[in-house]
Structure 1
Amino acid sequence: MIDVSCCPLVPSAALAVEGDRGYPLEPFLMTPFDEPATEGERQYNTSHSSTREVMEQTLQTMKSRFRRIHQSSGALQYEPIKCAKIAAACMWLHNRCVQRRIPLPEDVEGDTAVEEDVDDNEVENEDDAPGYETRRDIVEECFP
């Protein structure tokens, strides 16, 4: 999730979900520019990449500490709201473990694999994507 509260033009949203190039650009789902043309677009892509890196590291840490949320244990078979509550509980428990200096479990093979950006959902003309205006507003307000 990225904080877009700096952008008053984003309709009634303080947060947007961030995805890689494998996801379609939507008003609620921000993806990087395929070919950034301005300095603001390059800064947006840099910020997007940094945020994704932190998100991926965080997810790997959670999956390492809580094996049930790792794919090798199978997907969580619950409604999205319950999955969000489980994730929040895992994050809270992880922070308690960090405070008490409880180490992460030993790495299990495959734990540290980081997904690469996938370009499965190419949009023929990015300007026509549903989230184009939202992303443009974020760039103009946050990366002038």
Structure 2
Amino acid sequence: MSELTSSKRNGNLGRTLLWVAIVLSVLLLGFVTALTIRANPYVSDREANGVSKYKFLEACKEQLAEDEQLASLQGLLQQSGQLQAGQRLTAEIAPEPADLVASVQPAQGGGWTLNVPANIQVNGGGAPLGQLPFQCAHDKAQNRTTAQLQLPGGV
């Protein structure tokens, strides 16, 4: 028998190194998890602001998609012939996620505010037709989120 396959060889060193590697891996995973939790941009004081930052952003996105101002703008564009009968206007928040999260500010008295541009597109695809200012706010006292797309010229 060769020296490597000999039954006389002691395997304790290999087993010990394996356990050391497992323990170091678990410690590293715990350290990375702790750092990630601290650096989470969605972490917010839900008690002070009435709703978490993540839920606030989701509510703003939903209300932007259903905004009445967008429907009136779509009607005006269809009447003027700039928008075909089957086409639909959609709006999406323009900033990238990291910039969007940084744009959310706590409101006085509790709540959140957000002022960002929104991209206006036809049927949700292609290049944006333009950008319009979008405001969203959560009032902690009323536990209500309101959003408004601002049309140019008070349309």
TM-score normalised by L of structure 2: 0.28
Specify the structure having the higher radius of gyration (Cα): 2
Compare relative contact order (CA 8 Å, sep 6+) and give the higher one, 1 or 2: 1
Question: Which structure has the highest strand share of the two?
Answer: 2
TM-score normalised by L of structure 1: 0.29
